Structure 1
Amino acid sequence: MQLPEPVPSVSPSRPLSAAGRGVVASAHGAASAAGRAMLERGGNAMDAAIAMAAALGVAQPMMSGLGGDSFILWHDAATGRTMSINGAGPVPSTVPAGTPPTLPMRGLGSASVPGAVDAMCLAYDRYASGRLSFGELLAPAIELAEQGCETPHFCARFFALNEALLAADPGARQALLIDGRVPREGEPLRQPDLARTLERLAARGRDDFYGAGWGARLVELSRQTGGPFRDADFDGVFAEVSPPIQMPYGDGSIVSNPPVAQGVVLLEALGILDRLDMPANDEALRTHCMIEALKHAFADRNDFLGDPRYTENPLPQLLAAPRLDRLAAAIDRSRAAAAPPRARWSLGSGDTTCLVAADAQGNVVSYITSISTPFGAGVVVPGTGVLLNNRAGRGFSSSPDSPNRYAPGKRTMSTLHVYMALDRHGRPVMAGGTAGGDGQPQWNLQILDAVLNRGLSLRQAVDRPRWELFPGTDPAHLAHPYEIRVDRRIDAALLDRLRALGHTISDKSLGMLGAAQVLGIAPSGGFVAAADPRADGAAYAVG
């Protein structure tokens, strides 16, 4: 598994950077600049990633922030090990009587305990260089919040679509509106309350954030409004380190985050496709087989996976070679399946932002962080500037038979995950991720296939038009018949071939189209990073 030598480019409309000392890429230029600054000051890839994650929570409040969740992959060049950090918090343990089987999509009742801060602090303690203080890493985010961050087109569009949601919450009105309205494109948004919260986090750490700081304010808001959060919900630890899950691929492997992350969907689909002989130049057949493989992978996620503390997740069986052989053999190359052609094969014996960083020592980070749907719960804890996620309301199944069914204190399965492609020696050659809910494993799959199997550059792979199988795992839509939502740039002849194979091409928009960030490492050790032009992405190099 090998990438070509990087070719630098600095075109603003095609954000791509290459260098020998490190690269960063994120969905916002100010965040990428923060990451580059940490590398230039002697920090490592994790220092850069933490700075970018904090800055993105300020620059793109509709996507991520301290009130969300995060998942991270870290490759340590010194040890040769790759590890996963799962930063997802549980729903409150004390649930008001009469909680409906389907949780609300907005409001305090839709939120889970945010794991993003715990994940960030754990990553800093274990994997940062030690050359830069935690406060130095948060300083760019604090400055953006205090001085104001200009609202680019991508952000302005989400603000405009969600003005009523923000206006309905007193905390959101104070934190995210300007004179009672959403910020317009090009207009700076100051967030002084968020700046103070970040300063306190930098000075006092994660225990204070979940305790006497932000956590106490959320509990008080919950008490005043009849919400579910209590002091005890913030006891304990919400982030954990574990080995990633892994799929042999080519002469190397692909790794991703284990449950409650959704990395298994990507790996299972890759494992199925690796068993099919698909011509590189037959776009329609490749697309058809990808769609059919994803139907199996999504069905397995829905049937078998949940919070590992409550559910026995049979990952070795799901990803076992004989089982993948059977799934690959079940794919009909001439016709789309209306449903996966099995009921629970025997196992036998919407929003989000992603960032990547690599440093001169060979350390690599892929980091995804999210408040779930745009603007999350639509609730800002007053006086803190922190917007709550709505992961619980979106993620749990109402089915009593689902391993992902709701229970107090449980973590819902998440769409979030990132990936790394490793060579046969376990060294990264590619790392990345994307925003986009159930589009994430699909667009990660399309990018990996384009680069590893078809020889496209990172830039070409990230720029290509995309498609999405719907539905995937979102509980609210599982009864919907399969359809394919497409980027309108996709060739009409390809769509005609897919229709002839029995796929329904939807007239609905593909939505946000994802916002992928990808980096690659060439045999010489040079780095290349590509940021998605669909968002306000930027990739920067340290030369």
Structure 2
Amino acid sequence: MSALGEWPAAWGPVRTSALATGGMVSSSSPAVSQLGARVLAEGGTAVDAALAMTAMSWLALPGQCGIGGDFFAVVREPDGRVWTVNGSGFGPDGASAEGYLDRGLTAVPLTGPQAVAAPGAISALATLHGLGGTRDLAELWAPAAAAARDGMPCTAKNRRDITEHADSLVADADLSRWLMPAGRVPSVGDRLASAALADSIELLARDPRALYEGEVAQRAVDLLRAGGAPFSGDEWVLAGDVPAEDAISAPYGDVTVHQTPPPSPGWMMLQQAGLLDGLLTGLPTSGAESVHLLSLAARRAFRDRYERCASDNDAWRALLGAEELAQGRAELLGEPLSVGSPTGIAGDTTSCVAVDADGRAISAISSLAFTFGARISIPDTAIALNNRLARGAYLLPGHPNALAPRRKPLHTLNAWIATDGTGRLRHVGNTPGGDGQVQWNMQVLSHLVDGGLDPQEAVSAPRTTVHPGSDADALGTPETLQCESRLGADVLAGLMAQGHDVRDVGDWGGGGSALVVSVDHERGVLAGAADPRMDGVALGV
């Protein structure tokens, strides 16, 4: 059970983790999990399942991800090898912090053409398929294409997203036809269909490079240039080439954690793990001292990221070195809390995890950045474009993360896998949630390793968030610690006494949609979980 002995009644009900002896999937949507489980049941690998699940997510969670966004994944092979794909692109070749400031801008606009970075998702998915897929991509994406053509029923989550952004969506012809049929916000259960999107999925399943070269790519570049984004077209072509890369790894307790490398912020989870390794052992799970230390480690990671790191430098490597970690750990334990550094948690993303009967595992995550991204689409395709450039590039000349040609914007997406000392799979997990991701992934890891919680307890435990992180639109925002009230009055009071500006976000209002599948090698059982804060489910085969 947990370090607390039993699940506290004050935390509310918790489902039992799903169990299986073959393969298992987990996602934030029942439709997505059902498809992934079916792929495994029909003999597909975990990679096949993730490819199919990601495409279905474009229909089930259209505000959170799409063809015009980004995609990251970490894969553990049955022989113990771990590798990653990291799909994100550059902003315009003609853009710079100085040039945008000269235009009178104080930040990259959050919507419209100037918000867009070239999308890396399709190229990364193609690389993933080429290295780990066993089924034809057209076969794996056929269910998603059919869902687009026939119409996916609108969920309550989708209706909320569409309602919030209706004014922007109705202004885009393809997005309006798909998401706001008859020019109105759909009701729950209404089918949302797009023949144009179905055609796009089928085209890209046959030829993923069609998004980066040729007619569709030219339409995208023309749209963006007409809207003031100085794309040359070359950066679009470059986004179509996403190689596989080694994972970055670090120890935590009795496991080794494998993460996605930059431009992913996976190193930030590893830095927190290095700062906290051994400090949380024996402390009550989600007690005031545990939350305090987790929060300090997250704050330090965001501060270091802001002050030193960019997608195209290696400053993060020193932050994971023994000397820097030892110094950071001493400061964590000895310095009084100081708030107000120039570094909110927002944004929409979705993810999935899968493990197959051979022990192959994948953690995959994809996003448009903010909900529905830039809220524009490539004409006649229904491919919504991301707003990653607006979220991740600073208009601060000379800053490591200043907007510059061929510099990828800072990212929020990261995915993790944990193995034991012999290289066996122990846990695979992730969560959407902007700059909350690296914090909540660390919290879930600690719940599993330090607290001994099972997967469902770990993803359901009260969530806390240092707000803001380091999103470009949030620089200078006062720091707060957002806490779910299930922590209890005593813990919240203890955190305030430590100097935190605590903001109560309600019982389950912490955000995210954490997913975990764990392996019990002694009993030969998989245990999986999906976050009760969303509609997800874990399914075994």
If the length of structure 2 is used for normalisation, what is the TM-score? Answer: 0.91
Change (3 A) 1:289 1:333: farther
Cα distance between partner residues in 2 of 1:386 and 1:86? 20
Contact 1:295/1:339 (CA < 8 Å) preserved in 2?
A: no
Map 1:436-447; keep pairs closer than 5 Å.
Answer: 436-447=433-444
Identify the range of structure 1 (505-514 vs 15-24) with the bigger mean alpha-carbon deviation: 505-514
Counterpart CA distance in 2 for 1:457 and 1:360 is 21
Partner of 1:164: 167
* Counterparts of 2:228 and 2:246, CA distance in 1: 39
1:105 counterpart letter in structure 2: L
Cα displacement (A) at 1:333: 6.4
- The separation in 2 between residues aligned to 1:103 and 1:483, in whole angstroms, is 25
- Residue by residue over 1:128-158, the C-alpha shift from the partner in whole angstroms, topping out at 9 and shown as x without a partner, is 1x2x211111011111111111122222221
Tell me, which stretches of 5 or more residues in structure 2 are unaligned? 1-12, 342-346
Q: Is the 8 A contact 1:463 1:533 kept in 2?
A: yes
CA distance in 2, matches of 1:24, 1:194: 26
Q: In 2, Cα distance between the equivalents of 1:367 and 1:238?
A: 18
Alignment pair present for 1:105 and 2:107: no
Equivalent residue number for residue 405 of structure 1: 402
Q: Which residue of 1 aligns with 2:295?
A: 291
Q: Aligned AA for 2:91?
A: V
Instruction: Tell me how far 1:80 sits from its aligned partner.
Output: 1.6
State the Cα RMSD in Å.
2.3
Tell me which of 185, 191, 194 is aligned to 2:194: 191
Corresponding residue number in structure 1 for 2:10: none
Q: Structure 1 residues 512 and 85, CA, compared in 2 at 3 Å: closer, same or farther?
A: same
- Residue 444 of structure 2 aligns to which amino acid in structure 1? I
Question: Residue 521 of structure 1: which of 509, 519, 522 is its match?
Answer: 519
Counterpart of 2:32?
Answer: 31
Whole-angstrom CA distance in 2 between matches of 1:487 and 1:161: 24
- Is 1:319 equivalent to 2:320 in the alignment? yes
Q: CA deviation at 1:224?
A: 4.7
Indicate conservation of the 8 Å contact 1:194/1:385, yes or no. Answer: yes
1:114 matched to 2:131? The reply is no
Contact 1:262 1:417 in 2 (8 A): yes
Query: How far did 1:178 drift?
Result: 1.4
Contact 2:464 2:482 in 1 (8 A): yes
For 2:65 and 2:423, the matched residues in 1 are separated by 31
Output the amino acid matched with 1:140.
P
Q: Which residue of 2 aligns with 1:376?
A: 373
Of 414-423 and 229-238, deviating more is: 229-238
Partners of 2:146 and 2:15 in 1: how far apart? 27
Quickly say closer, same or farther: Cα 1:507–1:14, change in 2 above 3 A: closer
Q: 1:109 to 1:215 in 2, by over 3 A?
A: same
Q: Give the Cα separation in 2 of the matches to 1:90 and 1:177.
A: 31
Structure 2 residue identity aligned to 1:396: A
Measured in 2, the distance between the counterparts of 1:51 and 1:277 equals: 38
AA of the residue aligned to 1:234: W
Given that 2:107 and 2:472 are in contact with CA atoms closer than 8 Å, whether structure 1 keeps it comes out as no
Whole-angstrom CA distance in 1 between matches of 2:17 and 2:146 = 26
Structure 2 partner of 1:344: none
- Write out per-residue CA displacement over residues 284-334 of structure 1, whole angstroms, 9 at most, x where no aligned residue: 0011011111111111111222122xx3x1333211122211111112468
Q: How far apart are residue 171 of structure 1 and its match?
A: 3.2
Q: Which amino acid aligns with 2:448?
A: V
The aligned counterpart of 1:467 is: 464
In the TM superposition, what is the alpha-carbon distance from 1:511 to its structure 2 partner? 6.1
User: Structure 1 length normalisation: TM-score?
Assistant: 0.90
How big is the shift at 1:364?
0.2
Aligned residue in 2 for 1:345 = none
Equivalent position of 2:6 in the other structure: none
Between the aligned partners of 2:178 and 2:157, the Cα distance in structure 1 is: 19
Asked if structure 2 preserves the Cα contact closer than 8 Å seen for 1:15 and 1:531, the reply is no
* Residues 192 and 512 (structure 1), Cα distance of their counterparts in 2 relative to 1, 3 Å cut: farther
Match of 2:382 in 1: 385
Report the CA distance shift for 1:194/1:332 in structure 2 as closer, same or farther (over 3 A).
Answer: same
Cα distance in 2 for residues equivalent to 1:503 and 1:512: 16
Contact 1:31 1:59 in 2 (8 A): yes
- In 2 relative to 1, CA 59–213 (structure 1 residues): closer, same or farther, beyond 3 Å? farther
Q: Give the corresponding residue for 2:344.
A: none
Asked whether the equivalents of residues 264 and 301 of structure 1 are also in contact (C-alpha less than 8 Å), the reply is no
What's the offset of the Cα at 1:472? 1.2
Aligned to 1:246: 249
C-alpha distance in 2, partners of 1:200/1:511?
A: 39
SS in 2 for 1:331: helix
Does structure 1 retain, via aligned residues, the 8 Å contact 2:378–2:384?
yes
Would the aligned equivalents of 1:69 and 1:371 in 2 still touch at CA under 8 Å?
Answer: yes
Amino acid in structure 1 at the alignment position of 2:119: P
- One-letter identity of the residue aligned with 1:32: S
Residue matched to 2:20: 19
Residue 53 of structure 2 corresponds to residue 52 of structure 1: yes
> Which residue in the other structure is 1:142 paired with?
145
Q: In structure 1, how many angstroms separate the alpha carbons of the residues matched to 2:16 and 2:195?
A: 31
Pairwise CA distance, 1:477 = 2.1
The DSSP-based 3-state class of the residue aligned with 1:489 is helix
2:124 corresponds to 1:123: no
Correspondence for 1:234: 236
CA spacing shift, 1:13–1:276, aligned 2, 3 Å: closer
* Maintained 8 Å contact 1:218/1:229: no
Q: Secondary structure at the match of 2:37?
A: helix
Residue pair 1:289, 1:333 contacting (<8 A) in 2 also: no
* Cα deviation digits, residues 216-249 of structure 1 (max 9, x gap): 2212323554543443332234423211111112
The alignment-based identity, stated in percent, is: 34
Counterpart of 2:487 in structure 1: which amino acid?
A: I
In the other structure, the counterpart of 2:221 is: 219
Rounded to whole Å, the distance in 2 between the matches of 1:296 and 1:331 is: 9
Aligned partners of 2:465 and 2:483 also within 8 Å: yes
| Number of aligned residue pairs | 517
* C-alpha distance in 2 between matches for 1:324 and 1:362: 32
- 1:489–1:165 CA distance, 2 compared to 1 (3 A): farther
1:90 Cα deviation (Å)?
0.8
State the distance in 1 between where 2:449 and 2:414 align: 19
Give the equivalent residue in structure 2 for 1:494: 491
Aligned pairs for 1:267-346 within 5 A: 267-276=270-279, 279-281=282-284, 283-308=287-312, 311=313, 313-332=314-333, 335-338=336-339
Correspondence for 2:5: none
Q: Measured at CA, do residues 339 and 227 of structure 1 come closer, stay the same or move farther in structure 2, by a change above 3 Å?
A: closer
Cα separation, partners in 2 of 1:508 and 1:250, compared to 1, 3 Å: closer
Deviations 1:145-202 (A, max 9, x none): 1111112222222122111121233332223211111222222211221101011112
The structural deviation recorded for 1:459 is 0.5
